[in-house]
Amino acid sequence: MGRMAASAPRRRPEEGAHPPIGDPLAVHRAFRAHRHKRLVRIEQRREVKQARRRFWILVGTLFVVAVFLSVTIWEQIQSMFGI
């Protein structure tokens, strides 16, 4: 019969992934760090959403101004040349 395959090496948990259970201060610090990361992520999403909204408001405003100027200029040309 053939030999059996070797078992996969056991990996140690990443450092800092889970604080030691016996240290409540470390648990509290880890909780605060994760909460801070979550709040930063939420704030970043809100800022991106607001920036996107401001951009489209600006584009819409510029479009309206461009149409207004085009109509005004066209009317002036018509009155000057009698078109």
Instruction: Please report whether residue 68 resides in a domain.
Output: yes
Q: Is the pTM of this model over 0.85?
A: no
Asked, for residue 83, whether it belongs to a domain, the answer is: yes
Q: Which residues of 42-60 are buried (b: 16+ CB within 10 A; e: fewer)?
A: eeeeeeeeeeeeeeeeeee
Number of domains in the chain: 1
Identify whether 5 is part of a domain: no
List the domain range (segments joined by +) for residue 56: 23-83
Residue 11 maps to a domain: no
Question: Who's near 83: CB < 8 A, 6+ residues apart?
Answer: 77
User: Is 13 contained in some domain?
Assistant: no
What does the alpha-carbon distance between residue 42 and residue 54 come to, in Å, rounded to a whole number? 18
Sequential pLDDT tens for the chain (83 residues): 567 677 777 766 565 566 556 777 888 899 999 999 999 999 999 999 999 999 999 999 999 999 999 999 999 999 988 87
